[in-house]
Amino acid sequence: MTDDDHDDDPYLWLEEVTGDTALEWVRARNAEAVDELTGAPRFAALRDEVREVLDADDRIPYPRRRGEYLYNFWQDAAHPRGLWRRTTLESYREPEPVWEIVLDVDALAEAEGESWVWQGAAVLRPGYRRALVELSRGGADAAVVREFDLVSLSFVEDGFSLPEAKSRVGWIDEDTIYVGTDLGEGSLTASGYPRIAKQWRRGTPLADATTVFEGKPDDVSAGAYHDPTEGYERDFVYRNPDFYRTEKFLRTPSGLVRIEVPEDAETSVHREWLLVSTRSEWTVGDLTYPSGALLATRFDDFLAGGRSFDVLFAPDEHTSLSYHAWTRHHLILAMLHDVKSRFEVLTPGPDGWARAPLAGVPEVGSADILDTSPDESDEYWLNASGYTQPATLYRGEIGAQPQVLRRAPAFFPAQDLEAHQHFATSDDGTRIPYFVVGRPGATGPTLLYGYGGFEVSLTPGYSGIIGRGWLARGGTYVVANIRGGGEYGPTWHQSVLRAERPRVYEDFAAVARDLVDRGLTSPERLATMGGSNGGLLMGVMLTRYPELFGAIVCQVPLLDMRRYHRLLAGASWMAEYGDPDEPADWAFLREYSPYQNVDADRPYPPTFVLTSTRDDRVHPGHARKMVARLRELDHDVRYYENIEGGHGGAADNAQAAFKWALVYEFLWRTLSR
C-alpha cells in the first residue's frame, strides 16, 4: 500500500490537529452538542454532582512513600491543577494530616502563563533529595522535565531540564541521569518514542551526553535504567521490537550481557533474584513452563548459565497472575480468580519459597497493592473496594494484620443495589464473564462497558461518578470481561490478536444478547460505552451490531484502521492489530475497521463521540473523521472535543465533570425516549 492509496479519504484535512479549518469544524460540532445537551436542569445537576465527587475533601488522599515522607498529588475546587504535597506516617494517621506543599501546580501555571498538567515525578533513591518533575501542556503525553530539590522545595537552577517531548528519564546518581528524548532526526522510533538512551552528567550539554544504547527505527522504544539497591547496583538497557517483546541487557564494564529469556517474557531483577513472567510456553531443557507462569532464579546463576527455576505461580483455567510486588524480605503475588482479587505472600529461604495468604485482605470486589518499600521495610499499602463498597485504604506489614487508615465516603445510596457475576457464551463457545450492578429485578436503562485489549483487566471497583450519574438514578451498570483483556492471563489476550480480533467483538455482542435474554433490559434501553481501544470496540458495535443497542458513547477512539499506524503512537500497536500496509493484514482489518464500514442504509443508534485536541496518543482525527462520515450519511451523531485533557479527555475536575455530564445527559435523554 502506498501513500496514494489513502488519497480517497475525503476527510484527511481533519487530521490537521490545530489546522484552522479543522478547528472551525470542531468548534461548530462542540456548539451543537453543548446546545443540545446542556439546556435541561438535569445536566446542571449531573455536572454539579460529579464535580462534588471529584472535589470532595473527604476522599482518600492516596500516598506514595519516598523515604521518610508520604507524597500525594491532590486536586480540588481550590486547586484544579493540583498540589504535590507530603506528610509523615504519624501525621497521616491523624484525621486531618498536616500537609507540606511541595509544588503548587496552579501557582506555577499562573506564574508561567502555561496550562500545566501534572504528569508525575521520578524521585532519586536512596536519599530522596531530588526529583525529575514532568509537566505537560493541557494533559498531553509529551511533557517538559525539570529537576526539583526536595529539600529547598524549589526547581534547581541550571538543573536537568528537557523541553516538551515524550521523554524517558531516570536517575543514576545525584549528578547523572539516563535520558531518552527527541534529539532531532533519527532519535525517535516510528511510534514517536525515544530510540536512543544517553547518560547525561550534570553541568554538561545534552548534546555531549554519552550514548549507551540505540534501538532500531521500527522499534516501539528503547531506553536505560539504573537499579540503586544498595549492594546490588546494576544498570540495564532494553529495546521493545513491538508492544509485547523486549530485549534486555545488563550493562557491564566489558559490554552488554543479554538476559536470555523469550522476547515476549517480562523480567525483573530484585536483589539476588531474577523473576520471569512468561507470556507463551517456554521450554528449558526437559521442562516446559506454561504461559502466564512466574519463575524465579538467582540472577548471577542465570548469567553464569544456570537454568533452574522455582515456579512461583502457575495459572489454571480460573486463575491468573496480575502482578507481583516486592517488600524488603517478601514477594506479594496479586492474582485474579474469575476476576476476583486474591493475594499470596512468598518468602525465599534456605529451603525454598514459603507461602502464606496475605493477612487481613477483605472479601470485596477487588483490591490492589498501591505501594511497597522494597529498599527499607516490609510495609505495603492496599486499597480495596467493590461496585457498591467505597474504597478502604489499609497499611500493613507482612506477617501482621493490616490497619485501616482511611475510608472513602459513600457518594451514592447503595443499600438497594446488588452486584452479580454472570457468564455469556460467545460464538465459538467461550464463556465470557460479566458483572451486573443495579436494583434487583430492574429492567430499565442499562449501560454496558468494555475494553478488550492490551491485556488490560477490568476489575470491580467503586466509582462515585458512575454511582451518581447512572446507578442512583435507576440505571443498571454492566462490565464485560471480554477477551483481549488480562482477566485470565496472557492466553485470554493472545487468542484475539491480529486476524482473530473479531472474537473480541463477538464476545461483547454475546454479553449484550445475554443481558436481553436474561430479561435485564431490551435493545432499545441498552447503551454501551468505551474509550481508546474500547472506542474501537464501540465503533465496531455501531457498524457491525447496531441492532443490539439503543445508544453508543465512543471516547478518545481508534476508528480508522487503515491509517492508525501513521498517526501519533499508532505504529506501536501493530502487534495488537496488524499492519495495514501489508495486504494480508489489511484484508482482515478492513472487515471491521469502523471508518471504512459506515453504511448509509443501515439504521444506527444515536451516538456520541468525544475526544481531546491535546490527545497525542490516539489522534483526534479518528473521532473527527468518523463523525464527519456519519453526518454525511445522515446518521444520528453528536461530537464533543475538549481542547485540553490529553488521552484522559480532561485536564482538571471542572472539565471532567462537564464531560461526564454531557455523556450521562445524552444517555438518559436517549434511553428515555
Show which residues are catalytic.
532, 647
First to last CA, the chain: 45
Whole-angstrom distance, CA of residue 110 vs CA of residue 473: 39
Whole-number Å distance between alpha carbons of 122 and 637: 42
What is the distance between the alpha carbons of residues 220 and 574, in angstroms, rounded to a whole number?
10
- Asked if 109 contacts 94 with a C-beta cutoff of 8 angstroms, the reply is no
SS3 for 126-137 is CCCCEEEEEEEE
CA-angle at 632, arms to 627 and 635, nearest 5°: 70
Residue bearing cell 462537564: 658
Q: Rounded to 5 degrees, what are φ and ψ at 670?
A: -75, -45
Phi/psi at 257 (5° precision): -115, 115
The tally of CA atoms less than 13 A away on the side-chain side of residue 503 is: 23
Q: Indicate the DSSP class of residue 156.
A: P
CA distance linking residue 441 with residue 151, whole number of Å? 58
**Strand 154-155 with 143-149, pairing:** antiparallel
Under 8 Å between Cβ of 587 and 580? no
Let me know: does 630 contact 487? Beta carbons within 8 Å: no
Whole-angstrom distance, CA of residue 580 vs CA of residue 586: 5
Measured N-to-C along each axis, helices 621-632 and 533-544 cross at an angle, to the nearest 10 degrees, of 20
Query: What sign does the dihedral 454-459-461-465 (CA atoms) show?
Result: positive
Neighbours of 199 (CB within 10 A): 18
Give dist(CA 509, CA 552) in Å, integer: 13
User: What is the rounded CA–CA span in Å between residue 298 and residue 272?
Assistant: 6
In angstroms, rounded to a whole number, what is the distance separating the alpha carbons of residues 167 and 427? 43
Residue pair 639/628 in contact by the 8 Å Cβ criterion: no
How far is it, in rounded angstroms, from Cα 322 to Cα 515?
A: 28
Closest by CA to 382, choosing from 367, 401, 362, 397, is 367
Beta bridge partners of 118: 135
- Reported for 576-580, long-range contacts at CB under 8 A and 24+ positions apart, including other chains, are 576/243, 576/453, 576/454, 576/497, 576/498, 576/533, 577/498, 577/501, 578/498, 578/499, 578/501, 580/1
Report which secondary-structure segment, H or E, holds 257: strand 255-258
